[in-house]
């Protein structure tokens, strides 16, 4: 990077006049520099419609100026302006859900000589406007407060004396700074290689190296990080605190023990500043030891979201050797300081990442996938930019030492967590974070991404605090840092990840366990997702109902689906309370006693009966549970069939079944949807409904003999044998329509379960943003 510092003894464009006019000193030429920060935020603004839609309103115009004044030789006692240079960048937004205005612009302009400070031409006025664009949704209208950002002119107090400390004040919500110096002192202009500066994105340990050059002789330089405007965000990424890995991985070992979790996010790394060249070597200030014509200064980021302000000062002989600020020129614009990194739109995000350009730091409006229509994933644009640590090759027990062909891998620190990767996520795609300790389950997570279009990231336990907390943006939330420099950077509530754990002995393929029974919604409402993993291969494991890999993949996708608010086909979710609304449900032997009325299971009824003396399966806790469903004899239940096992007084009474698939319930809808159940024993014929008949102890043909004592619930109606040979687990995406396909769209009686019995497909339940459940206890 090349930065040139030019010592300007005269104002630009004034060389000819200098030859005939009196010397500059006799004309009392003075150089005025300063800034204007015009910022406006409206809280709780709404539009004018009866709905009173919330309106997000913000505008900020930053101006730097360099004005040169001198005594007017034609009018003694008066001052005239020989140069008036302005640079600015402005941003403004006001938007509701149906209308908005966005303004963005930057520029620089020399207003030229004038008698009055603020004299402008109409063309100059037009150039000083920040351009705006309005938009509205079609066919609707409303009034919203609109920003009208403008470049303000400086306020200059002519009574200020040279070398006086810079003044700072506020008036009418606008913040001003002002410095003045005589033109005989060093009036430094620093120029930057814009390309290098603009391409820099903060990464811990990676310095931004500036080369400063004086073209008019040696000077001493001071580089100073403005403490009030340099961030100290807790941790170094959205989900990472400073730890041993940080120092080892980012080659910052010399700072271990000196640098704290909430240390400044930009520093001058002492390793880069030798005592021979630098007289002052603080983390926040460095000074060259001797007067030099150039200096190279590396500024080191300590945070992936580091924001800062660098001031460059040069030693001035004019004001008794004091340090005077140098003016910095970036891409033709002059500034009083250098923002670190380059951030023209002032959103705290490096402009080098174009996908974040113009997005406010507090925005959380990721649109894809649309899901239930709620934008966002609970993470602000700034948090997504600052990025996340995600799982590398392992979690906590990954390789910590490696030697390859005799070479100790120097890029592989021998600390746990060396392989964690940092990732900045996209502000327009919803992100979901899943922790599993198991490398095999982690390998299968992309299947959930493929089924939902979510960006799914595998993380380690420490990346969301722990399995109980599960907060993926914990650094800012735990530090109670919601805003910085007036800009929102974190939302009101933390966002949660999902825990995915392998288990044995569950009896189920998998389960999404809610925090509170009956909850279903965004990830914060699910305590853990458990799946049974294939165990060691053995004939006995095969007999014990271990899952094969395809079932495992399906189970992971299905259960993670519940963890983002997707219920079974036939069920729905009350999105005001985030409670699952159960449909009629398939008839099963677990639920049958609550399903006699035909509607959804009646929880006022027990799932068991009082103990029965003749039952041959012992009661549990004095209660007798159903041994089976009994399907009445019919075309698909005839005596002699393999499942024709129930008799009463020796006469055939019905067939055994564990489940009867009901129309529009769990087995219904899109065949390939992972949320659809596959397999059953019977199904309701199209146009018919399973009818409860009776409950009794019956004889069962079991193990080759007929025995009395099986407790069954008998069901009738047009019940047809389920064609399991035509069915399998859905391996596609979550359904986008409720229509039945494949076995659920076959003609006539072959149609197994029909369309999903609710008004929305699975994908329209998907919700990732934990703010959706903000009101849920």
Partner 1 sequence: VNARRIGVLALVAALAAAVTIAAWLAAHRVNPSVAIPRLGLTLLVNRRANVELSPGTPLRFEASLVGAADVAAFSVGSRWKPWHQQIRLEAARVGETLPWPLPQPDSARTMEVIEGRPRMTDEPAAVAHLVESRQVHTATFASSPEDTATLQPGTYRIRAVFSTPFWQLWGWRGRAVSGEVTIVVVDAASAGGTRPDLEGERLALAVDFYLNASRFEEALRAATTLTDLFPSEARSHVLLGDVCAALNRREEALRAYERAMALLPRTYEPPELLLARIRQVKDDPNRGNAGAQLDR
Q: Which of 376, 379, 420, 378 is nearest to 398 (CA)?
A: 420
Min dist CB 676 to partner 1, Å, is: 12
Min dist CB 240 to partner 1, Å, is: 18
Binding mask 419-438 for partner 1 (x = CB under 8 A): x-x---------------xx
Residues 604-633 that bind partner 1 (CB under 8 A): 607-608, 617-618, 620-621, 623, 625, 627
Residues 558-577 that bind partner 1 (CB under 8 A): 559, 562, 568
Residues 91-120 that bind partner 1 (CB under 8 A): none
Q: Decide: is 395 part of the binding site for partner 1 (CB under 8 A).
A: yes
Q: Mark the segment that binds partner 1 (CB under 8 A) among 68-76, 119-127, 274-282, 550-558.
A: 550-558
Among 403, 640, 651, 775, binds partner 1 (CB under 8 A): 403
Among 384, 551, 755, 764, binds partner 1 (CB under 8 A): 551
* Pairwise CA distance, residues 70 & 156, whole Å: 14
Among 5, 128, 212, 580, binds partner 1 (CB under 8 A): 580
**674, 552 contact by CB (below 8 A):** no
Q: Decide: is 703 part of the binding site for partner 1 (CB under 8 A).
A: yes
* Pairwise CA distance, residues 285 & 274, whole Å: 14
Residue 731 burial class via C-beta count within 10 angstroms: exposed 0-12, middle 13-18, buried 19 and up: middle
Min dist CB 541 to partner 1, Å, is: 7
* Phi, psi dihedrals of residue 619, rounded to the nearest 5°: -70, 160
Min dist CB 567 to partner 1, Å, is: 8
- The CB density around residue 466, as the number of other CB atoms within 10 Å, is 12
Q: Which two tokens stand for residue 274?
A: 């030798």
Q: Decide: is 699 part of the binding site for partner 1 (CB under 8 A).
A: no
Binding mask 494-533 for partner 1 (x = CB under 8 A): -------xxxxxxxxxxxx-------------------xx
Among 289, 493, 728, 760, binds partner 1 (CB under 8 A): 728
For the four alpha carbons of 91, 92, 95 and 101, in that order, the dihedral sign comes to: negative
Among 396, 486, 599, 687, binds partner 1 (CB under 8 A): 396
What is the rounded (10 degree) CA torsion for 276, 277, 281, 285?
Answer: 170
Q: Decide: is 137 part of the binding site for partner 1 (CB under 8 A).
A: no
Q: Which is nearer to partner 1, 146 or 399 (CB)?
A: 399
Q: Which two tokens stand for residue 90?
A: 């402005």
Q: Which is nearer to partner 1, 479 or 535 (CB)?
A: 535
Q: Which two tokens stand for residue 574?
A: 């009350």
Among 401, 466, 602, 611, binds partner 1 (CB under 8 A): 401
* Pairwise CA distance, residues 307 & 226, whole Å: 11
Q: Decide: is 402 part of the binding site for partner 1 (CB under 8 A).
A: yes
Residue 385 has, within 13 A of its CA and on its CB side, a CA count of 28
- The CB density around residue 385, as the number of other CB atoms within 10 Å, is 27
Q: Decide: is 44 part of the binding site for partner 1 (CB under 8 A).
A: no
Min dist CB 397 to partner 1, Å, is: 4
Q: Which is nearer to partner 1, 237 or 637 (CB)?
A: 637
Min dist CB 544 to partner 1, Å, is: 5
Q: How far apart are the first and last CA of the chain?
A: 54
Min dist CB 642 to partner 1, Å, is: 5
* Angle (CA) 338 339 342, round 5°: 110
Among 722, 738, 740, 758, binds partner 1 (CB under 8 A): 722
Residues 158-197 that bind partner 1 (CB under 8 A): none
Q: Which is nearer to partner 1, 296 or 513 (CB)?
A: 513
Among 18, 49, 106, 412, binds partner 1 (CB under 8 A): 412
Q: Which residues contact 182 (CB under 8 A, 6 or more apart)?
A: 25, 29, 30, 31, 162, 163, 318
Peptide bond into 656 cis (omega under 30): no
Q: Which of 481, 48, 572, 517 is nearest to 231 (CA)?
A: 481
Residues 441-480 that bind partner 1 (CB under 8 A): 443-444, 446-447, 450
Binding mask 654-693 for partner 1 (x = CB under 8 A): --x-xx-----------------xxxxx------------
Total residues at interface with partner 1 (CB under 8 A): 96
Q: Which residues contact 586 (CB under 8 A, 6 or more apart)?
A: 659, 660, 661, 662, 665, 666, 667, 677, 680
Among 211, 590, 691, 776, binds partner 1 (CB under 8 A): 590
Min dist CB 555 to partner 1, Å, is: 9
* Angle (CA) 495 500 501, round 5°: 140
Q: Decide: is 145 part of the binding site for partner 1 (CB under 8 A).
A: no
Q: Which is nearer to partner 1, 226 or 672 (CB)?
A: 672
Q: Which is nearer to partner 1, 214 or 659 (CB)?
A: 659
Residue 196 burial class via C-beta count within 10 angstroms: exposed 0-12, middle 13-18, buried 19 and up: middle
Q: Which is nearer to partner 1, 206 or 590 (CB)?
A: 590
Min dist CB 408 to partner 1, Å, is: 9
Q: Decide: is 706 part of the binding site for partner 1 (CB under 8 A).
A: no
Q: Decide: is 359 part of the binding site for partner 1 (CB under 8 A).
A: no
How far CA 342 is from CA of 200, 202, 206, 346, in Å, comes to 8, 10, 15, 9
Q: Which is nearer to partner 1, 451 or 472 (CB)?
A: 451
Q: Which is nearer to partner 1, 232 or 555 (CB)?
A: 555
Residue 257 burial class via C-beta count within 10 angstroms: exposed 0-12, middle 13-18, buried 19 and up: exposed
**56, 95 contact by CB (below 8 A):** yes
Q: Decide: is 87 part of the binding site for partner 1 (CB under 8 A).
A: no
Assign 562 to helix, strand or coil: helix
Min dist CB 523 to partner 1, Å, is: 16
Among 51, 702, 736, 774, binds partner 1 (CB under 8 A): 702
Secondary structure of 273-329 in HEC code, one letter for each residue: CCCCCEEEECCCEEEECCCECEEEEEEEECCCCCCEEEEEEEECCCCCCCEEECEEE
């Amino acid at each position: 990077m090349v930065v040139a510092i030019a010592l300007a003894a005269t104002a630009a464009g004034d060389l000819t006049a200098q030859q005939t006019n009196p010397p500059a000193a006799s004309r009392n030429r003075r150089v005025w520099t300063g800034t204007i920060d015009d910022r406006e935020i409206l809280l709780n603004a709404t539009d004018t419609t009866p709905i009173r839609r919330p309106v997000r309103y913000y505008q900020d115009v930053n101006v730097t100026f360099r004005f040169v004044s001198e005594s007017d030789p034609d009018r003694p006692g008066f001052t005239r302006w020989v140069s008036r240079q302005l640079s600015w960048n402005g941003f403004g937004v006001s938007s509701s859900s149906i209308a908005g205005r966005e303004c963005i612009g930057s520029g620089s302009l020399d207003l030229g000589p004038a008698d009055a400070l603020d004299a402008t031409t109409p063309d100059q006025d037009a150039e000083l406007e920040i351009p705006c664009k309005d938009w509205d949704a079609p066919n609707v209208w409303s009034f919203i407060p609109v920003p009208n950002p403008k470049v303000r002119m400086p306020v200059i107090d002519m009574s200020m004396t040279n070398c006086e400390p810079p003044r700072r004040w506020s008036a009418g919500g606008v913040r001003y700074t002002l410095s003045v110096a005589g033109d005989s002192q060093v009036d430094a202009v620093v120029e930057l290689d814009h390309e290098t500066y603009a391409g820099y994105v903060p990464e811990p340990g990676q310095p931004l190296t500036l080369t400063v050059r004086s073209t008019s002789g040696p000077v001493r330089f001071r580089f100073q990080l403005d403490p009030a405007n340099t961030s100290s965000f807790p941790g170094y990424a959205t989900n990472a605190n400073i730890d041993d890995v940080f120092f080892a991985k980012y080659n910052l070992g010399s700072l271990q023990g000196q640098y704290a979790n909430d240390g400044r996010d930009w520093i001058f790394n002492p390793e880069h500043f030798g005592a021979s060249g630098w007289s002052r070597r603080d983390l926040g200030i460095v000074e060259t030891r001797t007067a030099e014509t150039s200096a190279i200064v590396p500024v080191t980021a300590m945070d992936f979201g580091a924001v800062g302000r660098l001031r460059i000062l040069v030693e001035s002989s004019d004001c008794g050797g004091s340090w005077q600020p140098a003016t910095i020129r970036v891409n033709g614009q002059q500034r009083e300081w250098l923002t670190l990194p380059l951030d023209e739109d002032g959103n705290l995000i490096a402009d080098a990442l174009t996908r974040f350009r113009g997005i406010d730091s507090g925005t959380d409006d990721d649109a894809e996938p649309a899901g239930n229509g709620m934008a966002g994933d609970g993470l602000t644009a700034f948090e997504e930019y600052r990025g996340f640590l995600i799982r590398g090759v392992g979690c906590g027990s990954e390789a910590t030492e490696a030697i390859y062909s005799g070479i100790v891998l120097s890029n592989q620190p021998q600390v746990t967590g060396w392989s964690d990767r940092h990732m900045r996520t996209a502000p327009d795609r919803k992100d979901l974070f899943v922790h599993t300790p198991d490398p095999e389950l982690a390998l299968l997570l992309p299947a959930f991404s493929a089924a939902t279009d979510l960006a799914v990231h595998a993380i380690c336990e420490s990346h969301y605090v722990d399995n109980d907390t599960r907060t993926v943006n914990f650094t800012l939330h735990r530090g109670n840092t919601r805003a910085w420099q007036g800009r929102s950077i974190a939302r009101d509530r933390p966002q949660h990840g999902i825990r995915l754990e392998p288990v044995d002995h569950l009896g189920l393929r998998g389960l999404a366990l809610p925090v509170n029974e009956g909850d279903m919604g965004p990830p914060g409402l699910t305590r853990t997702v458990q799946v049974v993993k294939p165990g060691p291969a053995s004939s006995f494991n095969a007999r014990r109902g271990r899952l094969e890999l395809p079932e495992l993949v399906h189970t992971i996708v299905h259960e993670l689906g519940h963890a983002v608010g997707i219920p079974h086909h036939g069920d729905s979710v009350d999105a005001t309370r985030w409670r699952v609304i159960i449909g009629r449900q398939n008839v099963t032997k677990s639920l049958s006693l609550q399903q006699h009325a035909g509607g959804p299971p009646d929880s006022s009824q027990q799932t068991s009966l009082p103990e029965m003396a003749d039952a041959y399966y012992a009661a549990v806790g004095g209660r007798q549970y159903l041994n089976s469903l009994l399907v009445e004899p019919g075309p698909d239940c005839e005596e002699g069939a393999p499942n024709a096992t129930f008799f009463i007084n020796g006469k055939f009474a019905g067939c055994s079944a564990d489940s009867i698939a009901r129309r529009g319930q769990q087995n219904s809808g899109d065949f390939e949807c992972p949320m659809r159940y596959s397999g059953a024993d019977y199904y309701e014929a199209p146009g018919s409904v399973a009818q409860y008949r009776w409950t009794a102890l019956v004889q069962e043909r079991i193990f080759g003999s007929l025995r009395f004592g099986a407790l069954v619930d008998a069901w009738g109606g047009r019940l047809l044998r389920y064609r399991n040979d035509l069915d399998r687990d859905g391996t596609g995406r979550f359904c986008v329509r409720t229509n039945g396909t494949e076995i659920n769209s076959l003609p006539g009686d072959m149609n197994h379960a029909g369309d999903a019995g609710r008004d929305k497909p699975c994908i329209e339940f998907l919700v990732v943003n934990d703010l959706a459940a903000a009101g849920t206890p």
